[in-house]
Amino acid sequence: MSSLVLPVPFQVSFEFFPPKSAEMEETLWKSITRLAPLAPRFVSVTYGAGGSTRERTHQTVHRILKETALVPAAHLTCVAATSDEIDTVAEDYWTVGVRHIVALRGDLPADGRAHPVPGGYAYGADLVEGLRKRRDFEVSVAAYPEVHPEAKSADADLDNLKRKIDAGATRAITQFFFDNHVFLRFVERARRAGITVPIVPGIMPVTNFTQMVKFAKSTGASIPRDFARMFDGLEADPETRKLVAATVAAEQCQELARAGVTEFHFYTLNRADLTYALCHVLGLRPGSRQASVGSPESGSGVAS
């Protein structure tokens, strides 16, 4: 069996979500502390649906800046807020030292409120443009290898991504996927459309297969039959499930690396163990030179 260690230098980033309770906050910070020695390029902190965790996101980002050496990327959505309110948040981030924003339209309000609100940013591209006009943020945006659930077509979805890039976004991070061919075909189409920024694959190590199926259904991500079979009968066996999940995710990353990918974004679900183990298997260790972490000159995503 060939080694799973990636043959080329690579970079990683980790995604967390803001805690809803003191217990969840303790879990989050244990995870951040565990993963920090891997020196990720950045760590991102999400918003909840409709901006519902806005204050907790701000608090988490501020704490990362204050208590760690990590580089935070703050998620910012434009639903349920005016452009002035969003601009104020962005200015506050800039003031405290945040230089990277993950700009998203965000999920539409579940209570049926209209979007955009009067004076608000309508789409992700509008938000990107507004951010870039105010400050020289690094701006990442979302991409959907299997098409956004609200998009009229794959072409329309790709056109929307192109608008976000043309507005000033510097990186696209994809929704999680489990079929590498889907991702690589998407990258090929994006390059033909003139999108040249790094397209970074979002990797979801499967901590809970049943929960992941629900996530996949809501986002439109497909689950290959062979992938699903790997988790058959493991509902009540979390230890074996973790071993299988780490192996499957490591093989996915190795295959992507052979196709030219040099950067991976891991959705941690605020749990460090599986992500840490995966990075270790791939060759990333504390102080390791395997990853050209944090160097803006090093390659990332998929080359154009």
Report the catalytic residues: 15
251-287 burial string, b = 16+ CB within 10 Å, else e?
Answer: ebbbebbeeebbbbbbbbbbbbbbbbbbbbbbbbeee
Other CB atoms within a 10 A radius of the CB of residue 304 amount to 12
* Alpha-carbon span 85 to 127, nearest angstrom: 12
List, as one string, the DSSP characters of 244-292: HHHHHHHHHHHHHHHTTB-EEEEE-TT-HHHHHHHHHHHT--TT-SSS-
| Vertex 198: Cα angle to 193 and 204 (nearest 5) | 110
CA proximity to 16, closest of 59, 79, 50: 59
* Alpha-carbon span 187 to 193, nearest angstrom: 10
* Alpha-carbon span 299 to 179, nearest angstrom: 23
Whole-Å CA distances, 215 to 48, 116, 199, 223: 14, 25, 21, 11
Q: Are 46 and 57 in contact (CB under 8 A)?
A: yes
Phi, psi of 174, rounded to the nearest 5 degrees: -85, 155
Q: Are 207 and 239 in contact (CB under 8 A)?
A: no
